[in-house]
Structure 1
C-alpha cells in the first residue's frame, strides 16, 4: 500500500466527517417524509366517513399513532386544506 502522507487520524477524521454529512442528509429526508406522511394522514382523516381505526388499518399504523399524528400535525397543518396545499406544493 502506498504511503499517501496522511496519518491514520486524518483518514478517520475525513471518514467521520463524511459519515456525519450522510447522517444529516438522512435526518433531513426523514423529516421531510414525516411531514408528507402527516399531511397525508390529516387528508385521510378529513375524508368523509374516515376514522382513526380505518386510517390506521389502511396504512399499517396503530390507532394511537394516528391519533398522535392527528394531534401533533395539526400544530403544523391547521386543517386538511393546508395539508393538501402542502402536498401540492411539494409534488408528493
Structure 2
C-alpha cells in the first residue's frame, strides 16, 4: 500500500515534534549541569589556597572560564524583583 502525501507529512511532523521535545529536554539538562558545575567551581574557589589556575587545571576548564564563572556568580541581589528572578531560576536555593 502506498502512503498518501498527507500521512507521510504527518509522520514527519510527529518526528519533528518529538525531536523538538528531546532538544528542549537536553537544553534543560545542559542548563542544570552548568549550574551544578558553577556551584562546584565556586565552592572550590572558596577553599583557602585555591587559585583560578589550580581550579581550572583540576576540572579541565580554562582560567578565563573559571574567572567568568566567579565574576557572573558574584552579582549582588539588591531588589525583591531580582530575588524572585533568582529563586525562579534556582528552585533548590
TM-score by length of 2: 0.74
- Give the match for residue 52 of structure 2: 52
State how 1:1-92 maps to structure 2 within 5 Å. 7-75=7-75
Other structure's SS at 2:61 match: coil
1:47, distance to aligned residue in structure 2 (A): 0.2
**1:34-65 deviations in Å (ceiling 9; x for gaps):** 00000000000000000000000100111001
Could you list the runs of 5+ residues in structure 2 that have no partner in the other structure?
77-89
Tell me the distance in 1 between the aligned counterparts of 2:67 and 2:42: 10
Count of residues paired in the alignment: 80
Q: Which runs of 4+ in 1 moved over 6 A?
A: none
Higher relative contact order (CA 8 A, sep 6+): 1
What RMSD, in angstroms, separates the aligned Cα atoms of the two structures? 2.7
Q: CA deviation at 1:16?
A: 0.3
TM-score for the superposition, normalised by structure 1:
0.75
